[in-house]
């Protein structure tokens, strides 16, 4: 078995043969660009076979008579399994070749989406969506591995935020695609994205590569003339095992735990809007299902702007202290959710504008959590730290999935939105404790 999985091991370093500085810079620019667009496209397609369920839920409910609580249970089980998988695969991803790790995960997720779309039983829906949750956890760790090895700590706010737009691009594109497909048959919402994801898996396999050393290039710190990222305290042995390292740098770091709790409440809001948005708009605001899909897609679209602006703010305004930017964004987001819930306006355009504001301010901190965690854990354990924060993020689907479905079924949408406002405020409070966390420039 070990030999069978040997291709998942990190690619070996090869001797650096390029000595001309201009040629070295050109090669590094080429590979950084290639790593960036390959991981982005790959992760966008992970979203095609993960967030393809939201627009289909009202149609599944109408066609098969499955309740909101049951549909919410699918979301919860998927989210919890995904969170656990993201954490476990985060530790594996830090020690694996991202090229093969990511491609295999995408291919397996596509298969589960295909099987889901061909099923009609709630039991099979649950099984396939549960397995999909596990395979989805193989998507982000190889991306975190690649990004932290190809981009240095001083530039990660902007670079990670740019990469993080793949979340919103993927969610928005699959919402738009499925807004058309659901008119014909909700099953197409799972089958067509699965086919695109299969093609994406072969694209990742063809384009992605491992660390710079595997291509005969120096570390990113050498390339940018920056000091090597500090991974150990003075007095620690250089051969410290990976388990010992993450025990100290990840599990023993209070700031990472505050990020975990903040991420739980942040994702409660994010996924409640994304997963239940079309249902809420059709039931409470009398918006047509196809238009509801476009409105939620706009929420994702403005999230892209929120990510980019928050990354810039982290690097340029707060000098790497992302918790400060996250706190500001989360507070404004909570206020916007309150107005979306309470203001008696019946214009779809008005709903869309408020959803855009929420999207802008929810995706800013969503992007920053991973960047802060990566900088705190260093590139040696970035995927593990992000996996831990991700575990808490997707445990939130207990509340945003099954919990919200049960509450709305029994008590209505008003209590549901009260919980979302409270979740936003709780995330804001936890970000207070990360005020000084993150990379800071060295004093000269």
In angstroms, rounded to a whole number, what is the distance separating the alpha carbons of residues 362 and 299? 10
DSSP 399: I
- According to the per-residue pLDDT averaged within each range, which of 7-11, 84-88, 125-129, 360-364 is highest? 360-364
**How many residues can be counted in the chain?**
444
Please state, for a pLDDT cut of 70, what percent of the chain lies above it.
93
What kind of architecture, by CATH, is found in domain 31-208+246-432?
Up-down Bundle (1.20)
The CA-based diameter of the chain, rounded to the nearest angstrom, is 69
Higher pLDDT, 176 or 34: 34
pLDDT score for 47 = 93
DSSP per-residue codes, 219-243 = -HHHHTT-PPPP-S-TT--TT--HH
pLDDT in tens, 272-298: 887 787 777 777 777 777 677 777 778
With 80 as the cut, is the pLDDT of residue 128 above it? yes
Separation between Cα atoms, residue 433 and residue 255, nearest integer Å: 7
Give the C-alpha separation, 20 to 14, whole Å.
17
Nearest-angstrom CA–CA distance, 78 and 264: 15
- H or E element at residue 276: helix 254-284
Other C-beta atoms within 10 Å of 352: how many? 21
C-alpha to C-alpha distances, 322 to 200, 228, 306, 380, nearest whole angstrom: 32, 21, 13, 20
Residue 212 confidence (pLDDT): 92
pLDDT higher than 70, residue 238: no
pLDDT band at 227 (very low <50, low <70, confident <90, very high): confident
What's the pLDDT at 265? 95
What pLDDT, in 10s, does the model give residues 41-59? 999 999 999 988 878 888 8
**Residue 234 CB contacts under 8 Å (≥ 6 apart), including other chains:** none
| Residue written as token pair 């239940």 | 276
Q: How many CB atoms lie within 10 A of CB 65?
A: 9
The average pLDDT across 407-430 equals 90
pLDDT for res 6:
64
pLDDT given for residue 248 in this prediction = 79
pLDDT of residue 444: 37
What is the pLDDT, as a whole number, of residue 9?
Answer: 83
Q: What is the 3-state secondary structure (H, E, C) of 126-192?
A: HHHHHHHHHHHCCCHHHHHHHHHHHCCHHHHHHHHHHHHHHHHHHHHHHHHHHHHHHHHCCCHHHHH
Task: Select the highest-mean-pLDDT range: 21-35, 50-64, 368-382.
Answer: 21-35
| CA 275, 279, 281, 285 torsion-angle sign | negative
Residue pair 96/9 in contact (Cβ under 8 Å)? The answer is yes
Residue 438: per-residue pLDDT: 63
Name the CA radius of gyration of the chain, rounded.
21
90 — pLDDT class (breaks 50, 70, 90): confident
pLDDT band, very low/low/confident/very high, at 440 (cuts 50, 70, 90): very low
- Residue 235 pLDDT > 80, yes or no? no
Which structure tokens are listed for 286? 């009398």
More confident residue, 177 or 405: 177
**Is-contact 209 100, C-beta < 8 A?**
no
Q: Which residue has the higher pLDDT, 3 or 393?
A: 393
Distance from the Cα of residue 267 to its chain's centroid: 10
> Which segment of 67-76, 77-86, 180-189, 315-324 scores lowest on mean pLDDT?
67-76
Average pLDDT, the chain: 85
Is 95's pLDDT higher than 80?
Answer: no
Residue 153 has pLDDT above 90, yes or no: no
- Give the residue, 97 or 120, on which the prediction is more confident: 97
- Output the pLDDT for position 230: 61
Q: pTM of the entire structure?
A: 0.77
| Of 185, 182, 179, residue with least CA distance to 294 | 179
Residue 229 has pLDDT above 50, yes or no: yes
| Six-digit token string for 156 | 């990660």
The pLDDT assigned to 150 comes to 93
Specify the pLDDT at position 346: 66
């Amino acid at each position: 078995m070990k030999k069978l999985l040997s291709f998942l091991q990190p690619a070996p370093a090869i001797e650096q043969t390029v000595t001309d500085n201009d040629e070295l810079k050109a090669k590094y620019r080429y590979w950084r660009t290639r790593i960036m667009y390959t991981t982005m496209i790959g992760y966008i397609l992970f979203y095609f076979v993960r967030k393809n369920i939201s627009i289909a839920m009202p149609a599944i409910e109408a066609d098969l008579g499955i309740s909101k609580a049951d549909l919410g249970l699918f979301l919860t089980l998927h989210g919890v399994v995904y969170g656990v998988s993201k954490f476990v695969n985060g530790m594996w991803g830090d020690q694996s070749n991202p090229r093969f790790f990511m491609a295999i995960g995408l291919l397996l997720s596509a298969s589960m989406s295909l099987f889901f779309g061909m099923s009609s039983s709630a039991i099979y829906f649950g099984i396939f969506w549960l397995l999909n949750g596990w395979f989805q956890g193989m998507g982000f760790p190889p991306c975190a591995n690649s990004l932290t090895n190809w981009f240095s700590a001083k530039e990660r706010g902007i670079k990670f935020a740019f990469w993080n737009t793949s979340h919103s691009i993927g969610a928005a594109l699959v919402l738009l695609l499925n807004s058309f497909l659901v008119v014909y048959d909700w099953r197409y919402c799972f089958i067509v994205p699965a086919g695109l994801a299969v093609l994406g898996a072969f694209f990742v396999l063809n384009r992605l590569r491992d660390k710079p050393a595997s291509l005969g290039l120096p570390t990113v710190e050498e390339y940018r003339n920056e000091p090597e990222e500090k991974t150990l305290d003075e007095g620690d042995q250089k051969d410290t095992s990976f388990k010992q390292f993450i025990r100290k740098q990840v599990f023993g770091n209070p700031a990472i735990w505050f990020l975990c709790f903040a991420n739980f409440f942040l994702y409660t809001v994010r996924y409640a809007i994304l997963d239940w948005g079309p249902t809420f708009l059709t039931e409470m605001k009398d918006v047509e299902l196809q238009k509801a899909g476009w409105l939620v897609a706009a929420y994702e679209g403005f999230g892209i702007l929120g990510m980019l602006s928050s990354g810039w703010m982290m690097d340029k305004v707060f000098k790497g202290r992302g918790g400060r930017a996250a706190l500001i964004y989360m507070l404004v987001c909570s206020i916007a959710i309150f107005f979306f819930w309470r203001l008696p306006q019946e214009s779809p355009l008005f709903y869309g504008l408020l959803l855009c504001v929420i999207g802008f301010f929810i995706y800013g901190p969503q992007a920053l959590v991973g960047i802060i965690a990566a900088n705190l854990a260093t590139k040696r354990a970035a995927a593990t730290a992000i996996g831990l924060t991700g575990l808490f993020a997707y445990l939130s689907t207990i509340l945003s999935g099954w919990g919200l479905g049960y509450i709305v079924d029994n008590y209505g949408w008003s209590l549901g939105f009260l919980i979302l406002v409270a979740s936003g405020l709780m995330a804001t409070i936890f970000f207070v404790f990360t005020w000084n966390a993150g990379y800071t420039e060295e004093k000269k």
